[in-house]
C-alpha cells in the first residue's frame, strides 16, 4: 500500500522544538492566569488591598514568596487602585545563606526593597537546648523583626506567601497536636493590633505555585540552611493530605472550602453558639418532615396506637434528629 506523507509533517527537529516551545508558552500562560485569578479573588474577598496601601512583601527566597511578589507586581500594573509594594528580606544569618541572590534579583526588578540583617540564628542556637525544635523561637523572632520593620518603613500591610495547602496543613496541625480548630487566616490583625497581615496566595494551590516557580526559574534559596529538618509533624500531615488527594481528587479543596463555610450551631463550641438557651417556637405551621409516611406508634400515652396510620391522615410524627 502506498502511503502519502506530507513532507512538511515529517519529523523535523526544529519544528518539534517550536511546537514544544509554543505548548510550553501556552501552559505557562494558563498557569499564570490561574494564579493571578486566584490571587485576585482572595484579595477581593478579604479586601486585602485598598487605595493608598503601602504593602511590605516578605521575601524569604522560597518559591512561594517569589511567586507572590511576581503576581502582586503584575496585579499592581492592571489594578484600578494605586498601592505600593516594598520587598523585604530578613537575613537571619543562617550558615551558607547566599546573601547576593536576593539583592541582585530585586535590583533587576527595579522595585523598592530592603534586606534586614539580624542574627536570629545565633540567638536560637544559644537559647534552644540541643535536640529541641528551634522553629518556634525562630518564627517569633522573625515575626517580631518584620512587624517592627513594617512600622519603620510606613507599611500598613504585611504580605506573607502562605498558600491554600499551608492553610489546610496548619488547620490539621492545630487539630491533631493542639486540639484547636484554627489555622492561618487570609487576613489577620496582629495581636498588638499594630499590623494587618495578608496572605494573597491563600486560594492558590501549592502544586501550581511550584510549577509556576519552575517555569520562572526563580533563584530559590533552600530552606534547610538552619540545619533543622522541616517539622516532622507538618511532614506527616502533608503526606496524609497528599495521599487523600490521590485517593479522592479535590478533597483538599473541599477541606479549604469548608473553612469558609462553618456552621457554629452544628459544631460543639459553646463560645461560638449559645447552646444553653435554645427555645422552641411552635407558633408557625409545621413543615412536613422527610421520612417514611407509615409508622406505628406504640406505648402507653394518649397518642399510643396499635395500627399504622398514613402521615397525610394526620399521623403523629416520630423522627430522629
Ligand atoms: S526551619 Fe529553621 S529557619 Fe525555618 S523556622 Fe525552623 S528554625 Fe527557623
Average pLDDT for residues 210-228, to the nearest whole number?
87
Cβ atoms of 209 and 64 within 8 Å: the answer is: yes
Q: How far is the CA of 222 from the centre of ligand 1 (A)?
A: 11
The reported pTM is 0.85
Q: 289: closest CA among 263, 320, 313, 266? A: 320
Q: 254-278 b/e with 16+ CB inside 10 Å = b?
A: ebbeeeeeeeeeeeeeeeeeeeeee
Q: How far is the CA of 124 from the centre of ligand 1 (A)?
A: 10
pLDDT in tens, 169-210: 999 999 999 999 999 999 999 999 999 999 999 999 999 999
pLDDT in tens, 68-121: 999 999 999 999 999 999 999 999 998 889 999 999 999 999 999 999 999 999
Rounded to whole angstroms, how far apart are CA atoms 12 and 7?
10
Q: What pLDDT is recorded for position 292?
A: 55
Given a cut of 50, is residue 7 above it in pLDDT?
A: no
Q: How far is the CA of 106 from the centre of ligand 1 (A)?
A: 23
User: The domain 17-219: what is its CATH number?
Assistant: 3.40.50.620
pLDDT in tens, 126-181: 998 887 878 888 889 999 999 999 999 999 999 999 999 999 999 999 999 999 99
Rounded to whole angstroms, how far apart are CA atoms 119 and 116?
10
Amino acid at each position: 500500500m502506498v502511503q502519502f506523507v506530507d513532507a512538511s509533517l515529517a519529523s523535523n527537529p526544529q519544528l518539534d522544538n517550536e511546537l514544544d516551545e509554543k505548548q510550553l508558552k501556552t501552559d505557562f500562560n494558563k498557569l499564570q492566569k490561574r494564579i493571578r485569578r486566584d490571587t485576585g479573588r482572595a484579595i477581593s474577598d478579604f479586601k486585602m488591598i485598598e487605595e493608598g496601601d503601602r504593602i511590605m512583601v516578605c521575601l524569604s527566597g522560597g518559591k512561594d514568596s517569589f511567586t507572590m511578589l511576581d503576581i502582586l507586581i503584575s496585579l499592581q500594573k492592571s489594578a484600578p487602585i494605586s498601592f505600593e509594594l516594598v520587598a523585604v528580606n530578613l537575613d537571619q544569618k543562617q550558615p551558607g545563606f547566599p546573601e547576593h541572590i536576593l539583592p541582585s534579583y530585586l535590583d533587576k526588578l527595579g522595585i523598592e526593597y530592603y534586606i534586614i540583617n539580624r542574627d536570629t540564628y545565633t540567638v536560637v542556637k544559644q537559647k534552644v537546648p540541643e535536640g529541641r525544635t528551634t522553629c518556634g523561637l525562630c518564627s517569633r523572632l522573625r515575626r517580631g523583626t518584620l512587624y517592627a520593620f513594617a512600622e519603620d518603613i510606613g507599611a500598613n500591610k504585611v504580605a506573607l506567601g502562605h498558600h491554600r495547602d499551608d492553610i489546610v496543613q496548619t488547620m490539621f496541625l492545630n487539630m491533631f497536636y493542639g486540639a484547636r480548630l484554627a489555622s492561618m487566616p487570609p487576613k489577620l490583625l496582629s495581636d498588638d493590633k499594630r499590623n494587618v497581615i495578608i496572605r494573597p496566595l491563600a486560594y492558590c494551590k501549592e502544586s501550581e505555585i511550584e510549577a509556576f516557580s519552575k517555569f520562572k526559574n526563580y533563584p530559590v534559596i533552600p530552606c534547610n540552611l538552619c540545619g533543622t529538618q522541616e517539622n516532622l509533624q507538618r511532614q506527616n500531615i502533608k503526606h496524609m493530605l497528599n495521599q487523600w488527594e490521590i485517593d479522592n481528587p479535590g478533597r483538599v479543596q473541599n477541606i479549604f472550602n469548608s473553612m469558609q463555610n462553618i456552621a457554629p450551631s452544628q459544631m460543639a463550641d459553646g463560645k461560638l453558639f449559645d447552646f444553653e438557651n435554645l427555645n422552641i417556637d411552635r407558633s408557625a405551621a409545621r413543615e412536613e418532615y422527610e421520612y417514611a409516611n407509615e409508622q406505628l406508634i406504640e406505648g402507653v400515652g394518649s397518642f399510643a396506637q396499635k395500627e399504622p396510620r398514613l402521615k397525610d391522615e394526620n399521623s403523629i410524627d416520630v423522627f430522629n434528629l
